[in-house]
Structure 1
Amino acid sequence: MTKVGLLSDTHGYWDEKYLQYFETCDEIWHAGDIGSLEVARKLETFRPFRAVYGNIDGQDIRQVYPQINRFTVDGAEVLIKHIGGYPGNYDPSIRGSILVHPPKLFISGHSHILKVKYDKTLDMLHINPGAAGISGFHKVRTMVRFIVDNGVFKELEVIELAG
């Protein structure tokens, strides 16, 4: 069983609440637009950290984190890409990969819109954790926590960051 803290679109903004809410997590995943290596370093020194770069991330971040991160955790294959779309509207840059070999969980960011949706056609869960930073049009900052247990996703929680 692995408890995951998931966030995206921090855009270089640091909030101590990231650590507070991810205290019980085994791993932290970031779906891109990290914004600064400082944010990434703080997260990776706190817990094991997986991330992808986003469209606003510079070469410093792109040299450390991939554009696409595909891995298996606790029996579930996961694919993370910052610009990825969602069920019914996958981004062309990832659509082929998802359709040919769908993971059990596809995570994207970019839109700043929290979305959890199941793709029945591909038997795949999609999560966009929204935006945890302060840059952008979103009104509410959000993150997500969930458990991966023997290939099953459960106890998904949406965290709203006030202020």
Structure 2
Amino acid sequence: MKKILLLSDTHSYMDDQILKFIKQADEVWHAGDIGHLEVTDAIKKLKPLRAVFGNIDDKDARAEFSLDAKFSIEDVSVWMTHIGGYPHRYNQRIREEITMNPPKIFISGHSHILKVQYDKKLNLLHLNPGAAGNHGFHKIRTMLRFEIDEAAIKNLEIIELAKRG
């Protein structure tokens, strides 16, 4: 079993509140718009990290992280990207591939809107953790955490952090 903390859109922001939840996880996944690499460096000092770059990320982030992260953990296939859309409105770049070979979990960030939605047609769970950083239009900073136990995704929790700003 793995305890996962999923965050996105930190936009160079890291605080003790986020770090507290990182320490409780087995792995941290970052769905892009990292900002300064000090954010991912701080995470990597504490826990294993899987991350993708987002549209605001510079050449250094793009050199360290990829546009898409596709991997399996326990018996669950995962596809994480920053701009991916959501069920019935997937981004054109990924639409054909996700239809032909859907993962069990599809993760995207970008919108700053926390969304957990099951795609019945593709039999996948779509996760967008919202935004953990201070930059953007969101009012509350959010993250998700959950457990993966063999093929099961369990104990999904929404984490509301402090208000933005």
Which runs of 5 or more structure 1 residues have no equivalent in the other structure? none
TM-score (norm 2): 0.97
Deviations 1:25-80 (A, max 9, x none): 10000000000110010011110000000000000000000000000001100000
Which structure 2 residue ranges, 5 or more long, are not aligned?
Answer: none
| C-alpha deviation, 1:114, in angstroms | 0.2
1:23 to partner: Cα distance? 2.1
| Alignment partners' CA distance in 1, 2:18 and 2:105 | 22
Between the aligned partners of 1:43 and 1:24, the Cα distance in structure 2 is: 12
Quick check: 2:22–2:43 contact (8 Å CA) kept in 1?
no
Q: Indicate the RMSD between aligned Cα atoms, in angstroms.
A: 0.7
Match of 1:79 in 2: 79
Equivalent residue, structure 1, for 2:89:
89
Mapped partners of 1:112, 1:148: distance in 2: 24
Size of the aligned set, in residue pairs, is 163
Question: Shift of the alpha carbon at 1:22?
Answer: 2.5
Over residues 105-142 of structure 1, what are the superposed CA-to-partner deviations in whole Å (9 max), with x where a residue is unaligned?
Answer: 00000000000000011110000000000000000100
The match for 1:124 is 124
Aligned twin of 2:7: 7
- Aligned-residue sequence identity (percent) comes to 54
Aligned residue for 2:141?
141
Q: Following TM superposition, by how much is the alpha carbon of 1:17 offset from its aligned partner in structure 2, in angstroms?
A: 1.2
Contact 2:9 2:133 in 1 (8 A): yes
For 1:97 and 1:24, the matched residues in 2 are separated by 34
TM-score for both structures, normalised by structure 1: 0.98
